[in-house]
Amino acid sequence: MWSIKNKLSTRLMNICIASLCKAKQLEKAEGLIVDGIRIGVQPDVVTYNTVIAAYCRVVGIDPGYSILHRMKEAGINPDVITYNSLIAGATRYCMLSRCLDLFDEMLEMSILPDIWSYNTLMHCFFKLRKPDEAYRVFQDIILKDISLHPATFNILMNGLCKNGYTENALMLFRSLKRHGFTPQLVTYNILIHGLCKSGRGKTAKEFLNELVEAGHIPNAITYTTVMKCCFRCRQFEEGLKIFAEMRRKGYTYDAFAYCTVASMLLKTGRMNEANEYLGYIITNGFDLDTVSFNNIINLYCKEGQLDNAYKLLYEAEKKGLESDKYTHTILIDGLCRTGNFKEAQQHLDCMSMMGFDSNLVALNSFINGLCKAGHLDHALWMFESMDAKDSFTYSTIVHGLCKAGRFRAASKLLLSCVRGGMRILKSNKCVVISGLRSSGFSHEARKVQSKIRLAKILHY
């Protein structure tokens, strides 16, 4: 009688622990185990597995390990699920050697790895951009005749796409289908994403049709993937059509899609529409996070409404949201655009005091603002004093020099940019060459042209 009661209590405790873990209240969950033991309710392997999985997911693998030790001390043997959770934790934090150690430990304890142990290990190799090793894990699964899970193919296809083997993923998909494999919606989404990223938007859209024909209903993930693809290919209206469809079908339940669209609109100078959508998420009670706020602050900065931008920052902080490096970079850019360099400099100094890394983007914004306001010498001084420069830095200063008619100086910097292996803007090159020509340096213009060509070949 007592033993049945005890088992029931353990089961009840496990349910409570699972719900605490779901709510990320891990210390409370651990406390419940201690309390349970005190009143005679013994935790079992499920109890510990639940807590280990939650720690690995939420905090990290080390606390997961310490629960494993406590579990062993309590005389409860870990099983394949315990180890799978730890392997998943190690994969989450890209700790390959821990994954492999766990695999060995499992085998030493005569716990047989299952399909999820292999799936996760394969995923770990892919995440670390080791597709050959990942594929070897897949071959191992086949060799050991372990029955596959649909997710195995998804992980394999996703890994291939992310590692630049979209074509192979596509071939695999087709060959699997010929062998009677039924792709899931996830499978289609993976492939569509891979195709979009590798610039094959047209094939991606064919798959969108195919998945519908196969009886699947596209979800929010499918839509955002294709929408983003349209924006990347500068098919703005088509992307906006997809967004409208998402809204109609109720897939815009959070601020994500709105922010994706708004940032595209801001970048392309469509301020009114950006204003409309960002206004919509403010007034319609969407749960706004730091990134959403950053988008709105960026809108205000772009419109020169710095007061509103700061007011919003204050509001976000009052809500308990922390500003990040984007927030401050956006504000510095806004200050520079309005010619407020003194405050921008103060904000920049403040950023390093707040512990943000040196910020190349903010410095580029600064140089851009200085050039636009005609403070070219200040911009050049800043340019010279920078430790790291990228193609943005060069294109900004080259543009500034050309605007001031200093084409020879501009051509020198353009050349050092391309010699450093960085890409240059076509517009930059054209302005420098035509500027040199029109100011009587045709010979130099030709020389610069051939030097750029040579540098590009050398870096190819």
> Which residues 189-208 are close enough to bind DNA by CB under 7 A?
189-190, 193
| Per-residue interface string for the shown chain with DNA, residues 15-54, x marking contact by CB under 7 A | ----------------------------------------
Where do we find the tokens 């815009």?
252
- Nearest distance, CB of residue 367 and DNA, angstroms: 8
| CB closer to DNA, 175 vs 358 | 358
Number of helices and strands in the chain (H, E) = 26, 0
Candidate list 60, 146, 425, 444; residue touching DNA; CB under 7 A: 425
Nearest to 227 by CA among 248, 201, 190: 201
Alpha-carbon distance values, 416 to 3, 158, 406, 424 (Å): 80, 39, 16, 10
Restricting to residues 62-81, which ones interact with DNA according to CB under 7 A? 81
| CB closer to DNA, 9 vs 282 | 282
- Nearest distance, CB of residue 333 and DNA, angstroms: 4
Restricting to residues 294-313, which ones interact with DNA according to CB under 7 A? 294-295, 298, 302
| Per-residue interface string for the shown chain with DNA, residues 391-420, x marking contact by CB under 7 A | xxx-xx--x---------------------
Is residue 316 involved in binding DNA (CB under 7 A)? no
Alpha-carbon distance values, 384 to 25, 184, 249 (Å): 52, 55, 53
Q: What's the number of CA atoms in the CB half-sphere (13 Å) around residue 146?
A: 18
| CB closer to DNA, 16 vs 425 | 425
Restricting to residues 137-156, which ones interact with DNA according to CB under 7 A? 150-151, 154-155
- The stretch among 26-34, 173-181, 288-296, 377-385 that binds DNA (CB under 7 A) is 288-296
Alpha-carbon distance values, 440 to 398, 433, 443, 445 (Å): 19, 11, 8, 9
Restricting to residues 79-108, which ones interact with DNA according to CB under 7 A? 81, 84, 88
Q: Binders of DNA: how many residues, by CB under 7 A?
A: 71
Restricting to residues 351-390, which ones interact with DNA according to CB under 7 A? 359-362, 364-365, 368, 390
Is residue 117 involved in binding DNA (CB under 7 A)? yes
- Nearest distance, CB of residue 394 and DNA, angstroms: 7
Is residue 119 involved in binding DNA (CB under 7 A)? yes
Nearest to 195 by CA among 170, 212, 178, 215: 170
| Per-residue interface string for the shown chain with DNA, residues 215-254, x marking contact by CB under 7 A | ----xxxx-xx--x-------------------------x
- Please, where are the H alpha helices in 163-200? 166-178, 185-197
Spatial distance between the Cα atoms of 289 and 363, rounded to a whole number of angstroms: 26
Nearest to 450 by CA among 418, 427, 428, 403: 418
Angle ∠(243,323,20) on CA atoms, nearest 5:
80
Q: Are 267 and 295 in contact (CB under 8 A)?
A: no
Is residue 266 involved in binding DNA (CB under 7 A)? yes
- Nearest distance, CB of residue 1 and DNA, angstroms: 35
- Nearest distance, CB of residue 191 and DNA, angstroms: 10
Q: Are 410 and 395 in contact (CB under 8 A)?
A: no
Q: What is the CA radius of gyration of the chain?
A: 28
Candidate list 136, 270, 325, 408; residue touching DNA; CB under 7 A: 325
